[in-house]
Amino acid sequence: MHTKTSCLLPGYCFLIATLLLLTLFKPVFASNENKITIAFRFDDYSATSNTLLEKNLINAFDKNGLSITIGVIPNIMTGDYHQSDGDSYETLPENKKDILRNAYFKGVIEVALHGYTHQRNKVSQTMSEFAGLEYEKQYDLLKTGQTMLEEIIHAPVTTFIPPWNSYDNNTLKALDALDFKTISADFNGTYNTTTPLQFLPFTCDLAGFKSTLEHAEKRKGNSPLIVVMIHQYDFLEISSERGSYYFQEFENLLHDLALRNDLVLTDLAGVENYYQNIYAPKYNQLVTTKKLFLKAFPVQLVAPPNLYMSDTFLLEQKLFVYLYLYLIPLILAFAFYFILQRIWVRRNMQIPFTGIITLLLFTSIFIFTRLNPGGYKITLILQILSGFFLALTILRYRRNKTVSY
């Protein structure tokens, strides 16, 4: 004889198992065994950028015994580089070359190539100097820019920061051919698992650094890595609208960070000394995990992990998302079941395989839906539908059992 809850017993077991798993996750998330690695990157050093700010920035890192990656534009377009039809360019003047050379020899900076002219090309539909161009054209631009910078510091330049963080597969191919080691863009860039390049996308800008650091401090045991992207307009002395720090505030922050023994502060090139797994497969894990979060949760409630983390942590995060995705329909099914069992449902109501079909539909749509800011809304609707039809399926099953007896 079946009791009221007999067919729900597997669901209760699943709920208990889920709670146990989430309990086991807690010590992993809260571990404090490892240090936090922070890499700094400063973009848009050029003939037209603010020299005084750049000298002060380099001096601030020098005073604290730290290093920073400087993304240099060797032949900046002097007009509006957001337009593709400009034809006026300016190479680095001697005083700016001297600043780079001296800081590099002191070990204060890594010199990275930040495009050649930073001018939008005529091919790409979005802001990009490189994406959409043929391989040979990209190779020539990268080679020319790399050579110009290497002649300044008399050392290899092996890090590339694409303007507007935009590039394509031809860019990666050209970087490989020119012996670049690292590309630092964002989490929207393309990748392939055959490239030997290291992928170090920025994880926050200067305005978001403190909140990102707080997030990392809760997960020290999972090898968090922060890449901070800085522009001159991040400083209020340069831009009162876009700035988030007065320079003295930033210098004080840098000093405080340098005194902490739970942090490793470095430039992009130095990351590989502390964090070995920074290649394309790892980047792929980060991107897919972020997409899962954006499809499953409102970003205002649960922000996706915006850090480089250990493989174990990323696996746990994915499992957490999947548990949520299937736990909510199950909970809703319980709720709908107890409501529907009090409502008259016609015995001949046709619900063939509804629960299974809906769950499969939910899974397939979720997996194949393209990432978009409203992805979580679709997910929530599918969860509600899955819970409702699963409740109907359980109710029909129990009614049929009752009739058979």
Mean pLDDT, all residues of the chain: 83
Per-residue pLDDT for 302 more than 70?
Answer: no
Q: What is the mean pLDDT of residues 340-345?
A: 63
Look up the CATH architecture of domain 36-278. Answer: Alpha-Beta Barrel (3.20)
Question: To 5 degrees, how large is the angle CA 120–CA 39–CA 42?
Answer: 35
Question: To 5 degrees, how large is the angle CA 180–CA 48–CA 55?
Answer: 75
pTM beyond cutoff 0.75: yes
Residue 244 confidence (pLDDT) = 97
- From-to residues of CATH 3.20.20.370 in the chain: 36-278
Beta bridge partners of residue 227, listed in sequence order: 39
Residue 370 confidence (pLDDT) = 47
Task: Look at residues 219, 209, 189, 192 and name the one whose alpha carbon lies nearest to residue 201.
Answer: 189
Q: What is the C-alpha separation between 108 and 110, in angstroms, rounded?
A: 7
Q: 23-55: per-residue pLDDT in tens?
A: 444 433 333 357 899 999 999 999 999 999 999
At 72, give phi and psi (nearest 5°). -105, 135
